[in-house]
Structure formats: structure tokens, C-alpha cells
Amino acid sequence: MRYGWIFGAAISAIIVAMPLVYADNAECGRIEDYVYEDGKSNVIVANRNAGKQVALTFDDGPSGNYTPMILDILAENGVKGTFFVVGRNAERYPMILKRIHSEGHEIGNHTYSHPDMKKLTPEQLDEEISRTGKAVSDIVGVSPVLFRPPGGYLSNDIVDKITSNSCKTVLWSWRQDTMDWKCPDVEKVVETVLSNIRDGDIILFHDFNPGKSPTPEALKIIIPELLGRGYEFVTVSELVNM
Ligand SMILES: [Zn+2]
């Protein structure tokens, strides 16, 4: 089963109430199959041919507090990111969604209601994807071409369904899950990113957080540091040359 290892890892991850934990180590060993090179993979986790480019990604927003703060930081540093939005949040904060779009960031689809993916019927998944696509399109005029499943939960059928909705499936790079939704210290988020950075990485953050998010403060350290190391911040579509 082509995505069997992702599926298995996702189930383990869900057991510990966590987003996907997948590995490019010898145990699982097949991460390169999922690294997007020359358009060969259906699931994007990185682009190792990208050179010194990386993608900042933000899930679960827009939110009324953290999304504008993060947009301010990206603007101050002149860098772009990708926001995987929840459709109902996009409808709640249309002006913030417009701001994301007008400032040159990419908008991805992260379902309409952030459901438990393993409980969805194929029809419900279709509805989650298409309703969000329409919500975003109604507000900013373009429909997302990227989809990230809540919790990183995937199966062959889910990937096929995403593809049939004209979207590419995006996860994130191994070792670049900042776990910022758990509100660790700023230093922990910074260290996770900086000590593991590789060319072509997709870094996972959240711009919705019911607690005190470390993300804005961490970005203020991470972005200048990586710029200083010669990295360029691009959207996910740019990273994979879509
Ligand atoms: Zn999410």
C-alpha cells in the first residue's frame, strides 16, 4: 500500500493525540518517495531540489489575534508564507483572509470544520474540501490548489479524493513540526526549526491557538536568523515550482 506507512504512522500519532509523526529514518525509510521532486510525488513534504529555500506554513486560522500578528512579522521581514485555512474560520474573518492574499501569501485548504479525518465518509471529505475552496474563492477570488489534512491523517483514498478535487496534498518536513499548538517555550520552537533546518523544508506552525502562542516571538528570531544563513522564504507552490 503506497501510503501505508503514512497511514500507520498517523494512527500511532492519533493515539497520542498528535499530528502525524513520520520518519525518514531507516525504520520507515521511504520518505524520499514523498519528497516532491520533478512532480513525481502526490504528497509534498519537502523539495530537496529547491536549494536554500524553505516554506513557513500556518494551520487552522485565520484567527483574530495571531494571524494579524504573524502577518505583521512576515511583512516586516519581507517574506512569504502559506496559510492552510479552515473554511469556517475564513468565513468568520474574511478581511484577514483578504489581507493574507493581498500581501502575497499563499492560501491552502485545511477542510471546512477541521474534522476527525478518520471518521469522514468520502462524501463528507468532498464537502469539506469543496466548501472551503468555494469559501476562499468567494472572498479572495482564487481557490486553493494545496490541501493539508488535519492531523496529517492520510490514506490512499484520502489522497485520491484530494487529487480529484484538483489539489496537491501537503504535509510538512520531518523534524519541522514545531508543536507550537502545545504552547512550548519560544526557545523550544526556535531550536526545533534552527537546529534541524534543511534545504527545501516545509515548516509547520499554527496561527490559531486558544492558549498563549509562542509562534510570533519565535518567528521574530527564526526569520532573521535563517535570512542571515542565506535562506529564502517562499510559498509551498513556489517551493515545488507549481
Ligand atoms: Zn489543523
Interval between CA 115 and ligand 1 midpoint (Å): 9
- Give 80's contacts (C-beta < 8 A, 6+ positions apart): 56, 74, 104, 105, 106, 233, 234, 235, 238
Q: Give me the mean pLDDT over the 6-27 stretch.
A: 35
Q: Are 150 and 114 in contact (CB under 8 A)?
A: yes
Active site amino acids: 59, 206
Q: Distance, CA 228 to ligand 1 centroid (Å)?
A: 30
Q: Which residues, in sequence order, are bridge partners of residue 224?
A: none
DSSP structural state of residue 59: E
**How many A from CA of 210 to the centre of ligand 1?**
13
Q: How confident is the model at residue 55 (pLDDT cuts 50, 70, 90)?
A: very high
From the CA of 21, how far away is ligand 1's center (Å)? 14
9 or 152: which leads in pLDDT? 152
Label residue 26 by pLDDT band (50, 70, 90): very low
The mean pLDDT of the chain is 87
Please tell me the distance between residue 207's alpha carbon and the centre of ligand 1 in angstroms: 10
What domains, with CATH codes, occur in the chain?
Answer: 4-239 (3.20.20.370)
pLDDT at 218: 98
pLDDT (tens digit, 9 = 90+) per residue, 115-159? 999 899 999 999 999 999 999 999 999 999 999 999 999 888 898
How many CB atoms are closer than 10 A to CB 171? 24
Dist. CA 114 → ligand 1 center (Å)? 6
Distance 191 CA to ligand 1 centre (A): 22
Range in 2-16, 148-162, 175-189, 211-225 with the lowest mean pLDDT: 2-16
- Interior/surface letters 202-220, b for 16+ CB within 10 angstroms, e for the rest: bbbbbbbbeeebbbbbbbe
